[in-house]
């Protein structure tokens, strides 16, 4: 098991007389000293507006920003740094693709296909594309455990122009068959938009191996800072797209009535770049790669397996989706008989345990499963078996505090 807790200062926090047990990593992750110190070093010694000045601080900030982009390129195995666009988060990246590609390349009669389990950020933008273009949005409903079925894949047909799906479900924690779905989409000429928000922190990303057309992820879910995300796109597709935002470094030359745009990747990065976020993401990538994704996956597998085994012994717990830890990436959604998820999360918080409650930004999935809200625990590299046992020991107390006599 990985032992890195000493690197995370927030994990020493006490709450209500209890040691913090942070199990909400699918929402955001905590930051190690290495990431914090990288940001502080930038702000103390290298803070400048990148790509805009001839003085030393601007030059140093530019170098740090460009080095971060190259680190991301290596991290996802992109062909060129021109294919790596810095954005605020996965949500902005998906909206960029929907606006700059979807709304300009689709027409009435075309189809967009996505799973019912998608995060709203990979669903609502496609609803807009369909309203604007007259295209049709069609869903793959998956089986009861969250697997793609043959019937689902058959919906990807000659009318399909875009297939958008998460590599890992943020609700079910399911690892989806990335290459199988991409091959099916490409066989009918469709473009694939792959949401890696819950994948990039937990497993090796390889956009060339997968052959996805677009790939998005967020820095804050993988030890980086908030406000930083990445859009990868194949260079030919990005060159064929209009900028999403205008102003700042995305211009080449501006005249009174016309403007020409900068080359990739800068034409999609309007305004002053978030150097702090890029530096934090670079440090986070270095930290994760020092550990290695084989070790990360094994660590999360052991935590998930142990937690699932414990939850299955509690008759009042109902697991949502697959209970096979081989298929999951450190995310478990569940309900407790007779207890609203918000009440369960509040009671667990009183014991210092942080989990998620609600619809997890996936209301269509909840409606499909007839489960409007649930609880979710999600693990990362700093969580321990002891924390899982502590969490399991408090689940019966949730029912007890709500007046049940189990």
Annotated catalytic residues are 361
Q: Rounded to whole angstroms, how far apart are CA atoms 82 and 247? A: 19
Q: Rounded to whole angstroms, how far apart are CA atoms 9 and 228? A: 21
* Whether the Cβ atoms of residue 226 and residue 244 lie closer than 8 Å to each other: no
* Whether the Cβ atoms of residue 72 and residue 281 lie closer than 8 Å to each other: yes
Dig out the tokens for 22 from the structure.
Answer: 């942070």
Dig out the tokens for 374 from the structure.
Answer: 């649930």
How far from chain centre, in Å, is Cα 136?
A: 25
3-state secondary structure of 9: helix
Q: Rounded to whole angstroms, how far apart are CA atoms 14 and 352? A: 7
How far from chain centre, in Å, is Cα 30?
A: 15
Per-residue DSSP letters for 148-211?
Answer: --HHHHHT--TTEEEEEEESB-TTT-BB--HHHHHHHHHHTT-EEEEE-TTTTTTS---HHHHT
3-state secondary structure of 260: strand
Dig out the tokens for 264 from the structure.
Answer: 């990739």
């Amino acid at each position: 098991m990985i032992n890195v807790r000493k690197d995370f200062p927030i994990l020493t926090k006490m709450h209500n007389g209890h040691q913090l047990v942070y199990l909400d990593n699918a929402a955001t992750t905590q930051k190690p000293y290495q990431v914090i110190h990288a940001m502080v070093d930038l702000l103390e010694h290298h803070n400048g507006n990148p790509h805009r000045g001839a003085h030393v601080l601007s030059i140093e900030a530019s170098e740090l920003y460009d080095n971060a982009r190259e680190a991301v390129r290596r991290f996802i195995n992109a062909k060129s740094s021109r294919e790596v666009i810095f954005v605020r988060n996965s949500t902005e990246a998906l909206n960029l693709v929907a606006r700059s590609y979807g709304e300009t390349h689709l027409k009435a009669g075309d189809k967009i296909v996505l799973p019912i389990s998608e995060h709203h950020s990979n669903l609502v933008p496609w609803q807009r594309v369909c309203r604007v273009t007259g295209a049709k949005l069609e869903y793959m409903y998956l089986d009861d455990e969250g697997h793609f079925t043959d019937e689902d894949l058959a919906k990807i047909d000659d009318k399909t122009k875009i297939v958008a799906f998460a590599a890992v479900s943020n609700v079910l924690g399911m690892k989806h068959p990335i290459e199988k779905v991409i091959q099916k989409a490409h066989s009918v000429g469709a473009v694939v938009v792959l949401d890696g928000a819950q994948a990039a922190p937990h497993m090796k990303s390889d956009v060339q191996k997968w052959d996805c057309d677009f790939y998005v992820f967020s820095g804050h879910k993988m030890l980086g800072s908030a406000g930083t995300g990445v859009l990868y796109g194949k260079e030919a597709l990005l060159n064929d797209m209009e900028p999403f935002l205008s102003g700042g470094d995305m211009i080449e030359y501006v005249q009174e009535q016309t403007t020409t745009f900068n080359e990739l990747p800068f034409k999609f990065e309007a305004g002053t770049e978030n150097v702090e976020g890029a530096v934090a993401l670079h440090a986070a990538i270095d930290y994760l790669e020092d550990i290695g994704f084989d070790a990360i996956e094994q660590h999360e597998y052991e935590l998930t397996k142990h937690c699932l085994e414990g939850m299955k012994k509690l008759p009042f717990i109902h697991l949502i989706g697959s209970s096979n830890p081989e298929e999951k990436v450190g995310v478990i959604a569940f309900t407790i008989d007779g207890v609203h998820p918000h009440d369960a999360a509040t009671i667990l918080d009183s014991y210092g345990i942080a989990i998620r409650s609600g619809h997890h930004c996936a209301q269509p999935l909840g409606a499909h499963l007839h489960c409007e809200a649930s609880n979710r625990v999600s693990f990362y590299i700093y969580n321990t078996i002891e924390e899982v046992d502590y969490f399991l020991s408090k689940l019966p107390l949730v029912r007890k505090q709500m007046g049940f006599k189990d």
